[in-house]
Amino acid sequence: MPSPVVAIVGATGAVGVELLTCLEQRHFPLSKLRLFASKRSAGKTMRFKSEDILVEELTEDVFAGIDIALFSAGGSISKKFGPIAARAGAVVVDNSSAFRMDPNVPLVVPEINPEAARGHKGIIANPNCSTIIAITPLWPLHQRNPIKRIIAATYQAASGAGQAAMDELRDSTQAYLKGESYQHSVLPPPYAFNLVSHNSKVDPESLYNEEEMKMVNETRKIWHAPDLRVSATCIRVPVLRAHGIALTVECTNPVTPAEVRALIEAAPGVRLVDDPEKNYFPMPVDVSGRDEILVGRIRQDISDPTGHSISLFVVGDQLLKGAALNAVQIAELLV
């Protein structure tokens, strides 16, 4: 596809807007861009390379002539329209969870398994944002010294729940500071100045929620490591668009912080921010709007006397590397 026709499905949403920006900033070699959204948003225009592009209503007959379709409109839309787009000849890069665990659909992080994209059958899945941000920095270590166990605690931004959640965080924060009441509709618990367990369904047997199990199952699939031991606790924090994740990993062989720092410094898509003397480590404010994942707080896990375990903290922009940027990088593998 030297000059593909590209479509964005869900163009007016938070991730859709970032997809548009990524395509422009990365000079993606498309010949034409088409934008689709719900009937409610159809008729609007969005700016791309100094041109106003009309947003069209998404229907079943719009995919003729489209080479790559970037989907970010939710799982139900992807399940319905993704196969339709693929049958029409488009390669679908889907940002929802609809196809991630389908054995016939590759789940791709370009810094980790770009070769998997070549095995697509019309649909390629973009992993969960927390999965991407957690395992991209861990991949160089896993290649050198295979990781046997991952313990993760996430600090997830409002953007993961969409533009409405970001707006609710802003509005509820203003109301809180004014001493006013606020009626939450997106995230029912009070969100401003609060921590909230991730708003996905909790399994009554395991007591893990869906977001936590996404990190477990997706990591195993991407790394081709079905026996990898993973446990996650996922929490929403009052941050707009950058996820932080505290990680402790156990390796096959002994590992030192110096070894991990050296691997991070040489790895693509990540940047070392690890200054104990100044107490300066990865923060959401430093990564919001940036492509790379920041990595720091690298230290020996003192609860493991064998020296096989390392603790670290990573932060990444949920809308970029956690969603839109990774999808565009997948599309770049196709051209």
Q: What pLDDT does 320 receive?
A: 97
Question: How far is CA 170 from each of CA 12, 162, 234, 252, rounded to the nearest angstrom?
Answer: 19, 13, 21, 44
> pLDDT (tens digit, 9 = 90+) per residue, 16-74?
999 999 999 999 999 999 999 999 999 999 999 999 999 999 999 999 999 999 999 99
> pLDDT (tens digit, 9 = 90+) per residue, 87-123?
999 999 999 999 999 999 999 999 999 999 999 999 9
DSSP state of 201: P
**Residue 301 pLDDT greater than 90, yes or no:** yes
Q: Domains along the chain?
A: 5-127+323-333 (3.40.50.720), 131-317 (3.30.360.10)
Classify 23 in phi/psi space as left (phi over 0), alpha (psi -120 to 50) or beta.
alpha
How far is the C-alpha of 312 from the C-alpha of 273, rounded, in Å?
A: 11
> pLDDT (tens digit, 9 = 90+) per residue, 201-239?
999 999 999 999 999 999 999 999 999 999 999 999 999
- The predicted model gives 313-334 an average pLDDT of 98
How far is the C-alpha of 155 from the C-alpha of 153, rounded, in Å?
A: 7
**249 token code pair:** 């990993």
Q: What pLDDT does 250 receive?
A: 98
> pLDDT (tens digit, 9 = 90+) per residue, 309-320?
999 999 999 999
**Residue 78 pLDDT greater than 90, yes or no:** yes
Q: Which amino acid does the sequence have at 98?
A: A
Residue 162: burial class (beta carbons within 10 Å; 0-12, 13-18, 19+): middle
CA atoms within 13 A on the CB side of 285: 2
Q: How confident is the model at residue 272 (pLDDT cuts 50, 70, 90)?
A: very high
Helix count and strand count (H, E) for the chain: 8, 14
How far is the C-alpha of 30 from the C-alpha of 90, rounded, in Å?
A: 14
Q: What pLDDT does 187 receive?
A: 86
- The predicted model gives 260-287 an average pLDDT of 97
Cβ neighbours of residue 57 under 8 Å, at least 6 residues apart? 36, 37, 38, 39, 42
Q: How confident is the model at residue 275 (pLDDT cuts 50, 70, 90)?
A: very high
Contact, 54 vs 32, CB < 8 A?
no
Q: What pLDDT does 157 receive?
A: 97
**Residue 1 pLDDT greater than 80, yes or no:** no
Question: Which positions are annotated as active-site residues?
Answer: 129, 243
Q: How confident is the model at residue 2 (pLDDT cuts 50, 70, 90)?
A: confident
> pLDDT (tens digit, 9 = 90+) per residue, 136-176?
999 999 999 999 999 999 999 999 999 999 999 999 999 99
Q: What pLDDT does 253 receive?
A: 98
Would strands 32-37 and 147-156 be described as parallel, antiparallel, or unpaired?
Answer: unpaired
Q: Which amino acid does the sequence have at 20?
A: L
Residue 240: burial class (beta carbons within 10 Å; 0-12, 13-18, 19+): middle
Q: What pLDDT does 101 receive?
A: 98
Pick from 195, 184, 157, 190: nearest CA to 14: 157
Q: What pLDDT does 297 receive?
A: 98
Residue 202: burial class (beta carbons within 10 Å; 0-12, 13-18, 19+): middle
Q: At 8, is the secondary structure helix, strand, or coil?
A: strand
Cβ neighbours of residue 212 under 8 Å, at least 6 residues apart? 198, 231, 232, 233, 234
User: In 10 A of CB 171, how many CB atoms?
Assistant: 15
